[in-house]
Amino acid sequence: MEADVVFLHPPSIFDFRERPILWGPINDLVPSKSVFEMYPIGFVSLASTLQSNGFEARIVNLALKMLRDKDFSPGNYLKEVETELFAIDLHWLPHVHGAIELARLCKEIHPDTPIVLGGLSSSYYHEEILESIPEVDFVVRGDATEYPMLELVRGLRDGNDLDAVPNLSFRSGSTIEVNDITSVPDEIDSFSLDYEYVFRSVLKTRNLDILPFQEFLTRPIMAVLTRKGCDQNCPGCGGSSYSYSKLCNRSKIALRSPEKVVRDLKNIEEFRAPAFVIGDLAFPDEEYGREILRLLKKEGLSIPVVFEFFTPPGRDFLMKLGETVGNFSVEMSPESGIEEIRVEAGRRYTNDELKQSINWAFEAGCSQFDLYFMIGLKGQTGDTLNDTLEFIDGLLEKHSDDNLIPFISPYTPFLDPGSLAFEFPEKYGFTKYAETLMDHYELLDSGFTWKDFLSYRTDEMSKNDLVRLTYESAIELAQIKEKHGIISADKLEDLSEKIALSKRMIRLSDAKNTGQLDEEQLEASLTELQERLLIDRGELDWSNGVTARRVMAVLKKGIKTLFTPA
């Protein structure tokens, strides 16, 4: 394969196929497997920007290839690649092991080909990366690296001085050069999550290397970006206002225009796939969302759309949403049923406000309302978790005829670098077990279970407590769901068995340090364990799987994009 730039997405743990791993609830809230095979969607925007500026760019989801084919050899594959630049994502820190190992492999096979890393985590650790990983030549920092990447590729091609490439950190002899982050666009209309590029690439290359995640063809969901940045400061979030200003030099939100958001939704409609709108349309300025709904009403939209809300939306907004989008779902993360703990987690609204909003959403025709609760929050104890489960039980009692689906999961495996909790752990009630990039790498490299990977504890919960309470809460929540008819008795039993097995794995792993571990027994047990422990994937599926209509729509759209100039 030949291309000017090859974007490579690594698995979170590079040798995941060669050693037993108990992933636990690491991936339960995203549509990908435990190896986090879903690449950051910014890859698509980066590749299509390069492509439209005359450079051949290819995206290879290496994690997915490794997942789909146990015999697939990344080394053999890379030997066949000819490129001027490898670009590897290190956006989410759980990819630190995969990103570093992949960079090492690329350099071993192609010693003269430069390697660039990008994403929020590499922006945070750019200096350490260049100091301690000699295989990596560049880091592009910030949240909008399309222009810096283009300038880097041009600079490498023309042999230009790289001092002029914005947002770039690079090695120059024995020193690390850090260019200022000056590419921070306020206008983000020109960046789009161009799914046409994805399908064009599939048709052109006749392979599925670019698929964003394993189930993309059977359970697709396509994201619509509404903004870059955030004006909130939830302590555990690496995408907060504080983090964006520190890592990306972004001091305020950049919003995509309502016209572009509507156009993106209409484009996705052509694929007959569900859409996920990233960013609360009603917050901080409800008028922004209202304008999108006004425009959308004129156009009409026939696909299911999932909307996330940071704070409970008002009745009028939800009614407008229901009138405009026939099939809509809602996601909210109240984090805790205890208001004081929720406020500490950055969400300033009451249980009554949340309850009202849920009522209005169903009144407006909401087809599914997902509520996410977290384990491991400041001030949270076993007792407050029980109170949260009671709160959930009460909500389900009230909404016995509605499709209200609660989830509960811990922050795993790491605190987000650059988040307030990471920067000021004492103030926010955390103790960190990993500070540097390589500390996190080591946790994944030497660890065996998700308990080993955890990079923190809270003031109230040790690692043991976090694991124990996660499993106890998962069982209790499943019992509540079974009581309300959300899951079957069989599913509850299945989950209980899986959790019992997981707990056994953790005990075995704990015994590793005392030399008691029987590897054979461990591996045999692991093969019995299903990857997903806490959430039924079906509950996250808004797509109804593959339909003949969707396949036809994708083919039609694919053919159309193939014959449309890029």
Task: Report the alpha-carbon distance of residue 258 to residue 452 in Å, rounded.
Answer: 45
For residue 411 the two structure tokens come to 């922050």
Cβ closer to ligand SF4: 5 or 230?
230
Q: Cβ 277 to ligand SF4, closest distance in Å? A: 14
Q: Cβ 279 to ligand SF4, closest distance in Å? A: 8
| 8 Å CB contact between 304 and 219 | no
Task: Report the alpha-carbon distance of residue 539 to residue 370 in Å, rounded.
Answer: 9
Cβ closer to ligand SF4: 10 or 429?
429
Q: Which amino acid is at 275?
A: A
Cβ closer to ligand SF4: 7 or 244?
244
For residue 403 the two structure tokens come to 């499709």
Q: Which amino acid is at 507?
A: R
For residue 410 the two structure tokens come to 């811990």
| 8 Å CB contact between 545 and 273 | no
Residue 521 C-beta-side C-alpha neighbours within 13 Å: 12
For residue 522 the two structure tokens come to 């461990």
Cβ closer to ligand SF4: 237 or 477?
237
Cβ closer to ligand SF4: 191 or 310?
310
For residue 206 the two structure tokens come to 């006749």
On the 0-12 / 13-18 / 19+ scale of CB atoms within 10 A, 170 is buried
Name residue, tokens 């394993």. 214
Cβ closer to ligand SF4: 247 or 478?
247
Binding residues for ligand SF4, rule: CB under 6 A, are: 230, 232-234, 237, 239-240, 310, 346
Q: Cβ 253 to ligand SF4, closest distance in Å? A: 9
Cβ closer to ligand SF4: 220 or 376?
376
Q: Closest Cα to residue 12, out of 546, 407, 445?
A: 445
Alpha helix locations (H) across 5-84?
A: 42-52, 62-68, 74-79
Q: Cβ 232 to ligand SF4, closest distance in Å? A: 4
Q: Cβ 346 to ligand SF4, closest distance in Å? A: 5
Ordered DSSP codes for 245-294: HHHH---S-EEPPHHHHHHHHHHHHHTT--EEEES-TTSS-HHHHHHHHH
Name residue, tokens 């025709």. 365
Cβ closer to ligand SF4: 427 or 560?
427
Q: Are strands 275-278 and 305-309 parallel, antiparallel or unpaired?
A: parallel
| 8 Å CB contact between 347 and 280 | no
Cβ closer to ligand SF4: 10 or 417?
417
Please measure the distance between the N-terminal and C-terminal CA atoms of the chain and give it in whole angstroms. 20
Cβ closer to ligand SF4: 220 or 337?
337
Cβ closer to ligand SF4: 278 or 553?
278
Q: Closest Cα to residue 523, out of 507, 500, 505, 503?
A: 505
Q: Are strands 305-309 and 328-335 parallel, antiparallel or unpaired?
A: parallel
For residue 429 the two structure tokens come to 């009630």
Give Cβ neighbours of residue 273 (< 8 Å, ≥ 6 apart): 220, 221, 222, 303, 543, 550
Cβ closer to ligand SF4: 232 or 561?
232
Task: Report the alpha-carbon distance of residue 427 to residue 297 in Å, rounded.
Answer: 46
Q: Cβ 366 to ligand SF4, closest distance in Å? A: 21
Q: Cβ 344 to ligand SF4, closest distance in Å? A: 13
For residue 177 the two structure tokens come to 């050069």
DSSP H or E run through 406: strand 404-410
Q: Cβ 348 to ligand SF4, closest distance in Å? A: 11
Q: Are strands 115-118 and 138-140 parallel, antiparallel or unpaired?
A: parallel
Cβ closer to ligand SF4: 276 or 310?
310
| 8 Å CB contact between 22 and 450 | yes
Cβ closer to ligand SF4: 116 or 345?
345
